[in-house]
Structure 1
Amino acid sequence: MKASDEKNGTPAPDAPGVGMLQRAFAVIRALGEGQAEGSRVTALAKAVGLTQATVHRILHALIAEGVVEQDEASKRYRLSVDFFSLAAQAGNPSRMRTLCRPALLRLCASLGDTIFLLVKSSFDAVCLDMCEGPFPIRSFTGDVGGRVALGVGQGSLAILAFQPEEEREEIIRYNVPRLHNYGVFDEVYLRTEIERVRAQGYAGRNSGLIDGMAGVAVPILDRSGHALGALSVGTLSTRLGEDRLPMVVELLKRQASTIGPQINPFDVAVRRPVHGLTRAMATRPLSGPAQ
């Protein structure tokens, strides 16, 4: 096999250094998903399926690059402040966070609930930003940077429902097996929910997969009517009754309708061509809900 892809110049899977790079990113992801106080080598090795010696070498290489640090007292490893600083610099694709932040603040102040900005990332929805309200809630994506399979949760479902048809179909085919991790999903249920969202223009449930929690979301649409992201409200089920739901939906739609036209339609950062989806996610492990 050649060391590079002749079409796009990207390294082939067996190119020198690629395997170690993939292992390093697996360790970084495991650290990001680990406990706040850090992780031990044994736990990281088990999480990524590598030997402790290999993980130890990778960790020390990452420490040398300043993206990982080790607590002197507990000997646990965690991502460094420099890593989060670098991530923050890169964490504003297509100006989405900057563009949407005022809307999140307005909605949070008006509704008194937690507001999420979700964007599409291949077969997942990622929480790009959030504005926390006063009520303690749980969500599938968790904090900023958390991700969930497209179709799970209101924001994710709103994004999926308004994808171009061909792309939506490929996502459904890929994600249906993953949805089994969430307990109650099958393809018929998912397609029924998608049609419901497309008909009413929003995804909303007074009760859902997380006990006591409720949510409603509207897509952020481009000029073609395709979703680039979603604005979502997460709240207690007691705060999203039939009397309040129409008002919440109206406020969300009003903000989303002002954001969509401001997004550059030629910005490739918000486009994920359907032919690139499978390749991008082919080696990604399946994951359950992040709460």
Structure 2
Amino acid sequence: MDPDDAGSAGVLHRAARLLNALAEGGPEGLRLTDLAEAAALPRPSAHRVLRGLVQERLVEVDARTKRYTLGLRLFEMGARAGGRLGLRQICRPVLLRLTETLGETHFLLLRDGYEAVCLDRSTGPLVIRSLTGDIGGRVPLGVGQGGLAILAFLPEAEQDDVIRHNAARLRDVGGLDEATLRAELARVRRDGHCDRSSGVLPGMTGIGVPILDREGRAVAALSVGSTAEHLTPERGQVIAALLKKEALAIAARLNPFDPALRRAGAAMEMN
């Protein structure tokens, strides 16, 4: 018998093994058998410890798939321990600087399941209308430059799920049909940004770039809203390059324990 497996110290040791295995197991999580094997623990022992971790919200289990994932409480604890800034705090000075430099209105959009929610905005001198409106406004993924940029940089299976789920809503708001949408998503992924005018708000246009996590999955987007007259193709190329540079810098500072990013990453599991 492993001396580390005796008493409370042994329980702690086994819990640490299981948490480490889950951290290495990817966002889809692991089933009990695979998790016990990865942690080098007997299945009954792993199951007992997992029950306790679930009760403490350090681990979550999907009742349908029986897969275990790291729990939201663990991420909240990590955020406090790390003392790092959240997404909105990181991006706030970026938005203000961009607006000051370019004289445009800029948005920070966060992925939330099948939607993008406006987490922050910095308003420029031009009077514009936007699909998300003010902070807290939402659009289905696939609408607007930011929503398209996020959708384009999701894994293929998630992208397909979003398109199927949002098809009716996209039609209702005058969005792209599926064939055109898929072609546009391929172009956005190739170019690294979306500069397509949605056509939903006449005279309005913009540019959106994804903010990617460490796995290359879009969790958020930076976007600029402007008028079609003001945002010429030449000016658009300059702004797109600047937004991409800022998005890369933001991605390097992301706190993986940020509850907002945890929500974005787990969004498909919750819907």
1:238 is displaced (CA, Å) by 0.8
Structure 1 residues 32-90: Cα deviation after superposition (integer angstroms, max 9, x where no partner): xxxxxxxxxxxxxxxxxxxxxxxxxxxxxxxxxxxxxxxxxxxxxxxxxxxxxxxxxxx
Q: Percent identity?
A: 49
On the 8 A contact 2:170/2:176 being kept in 1, the answer is yes
Equivalence map 1:1-291=2 (5 Å): 95-205=86-196, 208-267=199-258, 269-272=260-263, 277=268, 280=271
- Specify whether residues 279 and 218 from structure 1 end up closer, same or farther in structure 2 by C-alpha distance, changes over 3 A only: closer
1:130 deviation in Å?
A: 0.2
Q: How far is 1:206 from its partner? A: 5.1
User: How many aligned residue pairs are there?
Assistant: 193
Which of structures 1 and 2 has the bigger CA Rg? 2
User: Which secondary structure state, in structure 1, belongs to the residue aligned with residue 86 of structure 2?
Assistant: helix
Structure 1: any 5+ residue segments left out of the alignment?
Answer: 1-5, 11-93, 281-291
SS across alignment from 2:129: coil
Q: Secondary structure at the match of 2:166?
A: helix
Instruction: Quote the Cα distance in structure 1 between the aligned partners of 2:231 and 2:223.
Output: 13
How far residue 241 of structure 1 moved from its aligned partner, in angstroms, is 1.2
Structure 1 runs of 4+ with >4 Å offset: 272-276
Identify which of structures 1 and 2 has the higher relative contact order when contacts are C-alpha pairs closer than 8 Å and 6+ apart. 2
Q: Unaligned stretches of 5+ in structure 2?
A: 1-50, 58-84
Q: What is the alpha-carbon distance in structure 1 between the residues aligned to residue 261 and residue 250 of structure 2?
A: 14
Distance across 2 between alignment mates of 1:273 and 1:207 = 24
Q: CA deviation at 1:166?
A: 2.0
Contact 2:86 2:258 (8 Å CA) reproduced: no
Secondary structure class of the residue paired with 2:95: helix
2:104 and 2:129 mapped to 1: Cα distance? 12
CA distance in 2, matches of 1:273, 1:112: 30
Bigger share in helix? 2
> 1:205 and 1:166 mapped to 2: Cα distance?
24
Cα RMSD for the two superposed structures: 2.5
TM-score under structure 2 normalisation? 0.65
Is the 8 Å Cα contact of residues 170 and 274 (structure 1) preserved in structure 2?
Answer: no
Letter in 2 for 1:101: R
Q: Which letter does structure 2 place at the counterpart of 1:208? A: G
Note the C-alpha offset of 1:127: 0.3
Letter in 1 for 2:178: E
CA distance in 2, matches of 1:97, 1:267: 10
Q: 1:129 to 1:279 in 2, by over 3 A?
A: closer
CA distance in structure 1 between the aligned counterparts of 2:167 and 2:269, rounded to whole angstroms: 14
Q: In structure 1, give the amino acid aligned to 2:129.
A: R
